[in-house]
A and B are shown apart, each in its own frame.
Chain A
Amino acid sequence: MILMREVHMDLISEEKLENMTSMEKIRLILDKVKTGRIVVLESGLTPDEEVRLIEMTMTEIRVDEFSGIEIESYPSKKGGSFLNRIFGKGFKGRMTVIGPANQIHTIEKDEFQISTKVSVGD
């Protein structure tokens, strides 16, 4: 008998992310990932938000409960208005996949494509 396993994925739109603070985004991601969900962000995170996510992840790692995250994104793109670029706000995040480290594994990644494998536990 073939057993069907389920993977819960949340695809979060750019519009939703635009209306959230950095801390709200990080909390949303970690809360979902810690319950075993895979999160796909349409517009990703800024470089600063990425390091804050890693930092927060480290504080939440617990033996036998949560070993961290697998996160894959493309390098940020410069963008935004002239004034935003002058004040260092001209970096736009790109599509990002985040999941529990024990479930999501990157197979291959380059500038144009991210291939991941999702394992479903027993």
Chain B
Amino acid sequence: MGFMSSFRENLGAWIKKIFKKKRAKIGLYGPPNAGKTTLANRILSDWSGGDSMGTVSPIPHETRRAMRREGLVINANGSSIELDIVDTPGMATKIDFKEFMAFGLSEAESKKRAKEATEGVIEAIKWLDDLDGVLLVMDSTEDPYTQVNVTVIGNMEARKLPLLIVANKMDLPNASPSRISAAFPQHSIVPISALEGSNLDDLYQAIATHFG
């Protein structure tokens, strides 16, 4: 990254902080199957009256193209913020088509899905350059110390952009948001269940505070 582009990025971050921007482009990031699209659908349902962002599936990499929805107005805590939400494909460092065959897809379908998934990861990475902040969605039942989480957090810290960790899947019995808090104590964490819609009010308040 060149000196001037780095300077511009940091200057931009300072200006946004000073003027408390009320419109923000927010990316939903995380590993595959963390519940990013379920959360995006829930946010749309709550604030745009029943739309959906994309389909969800137990097969990893269901979202293979970034989906953007503009102009969602979220009211929370007496203030409102207008969001452009970008639901990104799951980030991964490896994609093996055989993993999809284990879910019953044919070899041809699996190979096609793997190819599209690699393109999706690249698209998710490209979007990092064009966002005002990130909702990092983690599966609360999984080990939070994955490289995808470490890399996304490192990038947001280096770019001085706001990040909010969403500890999803709190409806599952072995969910443990405390593991996430212990792994990333420097960041705010909101435990939710996007599937059941629980604790979403806390999430909307945190979004208004962090990105407003």
Binding site for B on A (CB under 8 A): 46-48, 50-51, 54-55, 57-59, 61, 63, 67-76, 78, 86-89, 91, 101-102, 109-111
**Are A75 and B150 also in contact (CB < 8 A) when A61-B95, A67-B96, A87-B7 are?**
yes
Contact among B128, B143, B150, B160 with A88 in the assembled complex (CB-CB below 8 Å) = B160
In the complex, how many angstroms separate the beta carbon of A70 from the nearest chain B beta carbon?
7
Inside 8 A of B91's CB, which chain A residues have their CB?
54
A68 and B96 contact, CB distance less than 8 A: yes
Q: Does B211 contact A (CB under 8 A)?
A: no
A interface, over-half SS? mixed
B125 and A47 contact, CB distance less than 8 A: no
Binding site for A on B (CB under 8 A): 1, 3, 6-7, 9-10, 91-97, 111, 114, 118-119, 121-122, 125, 128, 143, 145, 147, 150-151, 153-155, 157-160, 183
In the complex, how many angstroms separate the beta carbon of A26 from the nearest chain B beta carbon?
13
A69 and B10 contact, CB distance less than 8 A: no
Nearest opposing residue in chain B for A86, CB measure: B10
Inside 8 A of B125's CB, which chain A residues have their CB?
51, 54-55
In the complex, how many angstroms separate the beta carbon of B159 from the nearest chain A beta carbon?
7
Nearest opposing residue in chain A for B143, CB measure: A109
How far is B151's CA from A50's CA once the two chains are assembled, in angstroms?
7
How far is B148's CA from A68's CA once the two chains are assembled, in angstroms?
14
Contact among A63, A71, A109, A111 with B114 in the assembled complex (CB-CB below 8 Å) = A63
In the complex, how many angstroms separate the beta carbon of A25 from the nearest chain B beta carbon?
14
Inside 8 A of A75's CB, which chain B residues have their CB?
150, 153-154
Contact among A46, A55, A101 with B96 in the assembled complex (CB-CB below 8 Å) = A101
Q: 27 A-B Cβ contacts within 8 A?
A: A48-B158, A50-B154, A51-B125, A51-B151, A51-B155, A54-B125, A54-B151, A55-B121, A55-B125, A57-B94, A58-B118, A61-B95, A63-B97, A63-B111, A63-B114, A67-B94, A68-B93, A68-B95, A71-B93, A76-B157, A76-B158, A87-B3, A87-B6, A101-B94, A109-B143, A109-B145, A110-B183
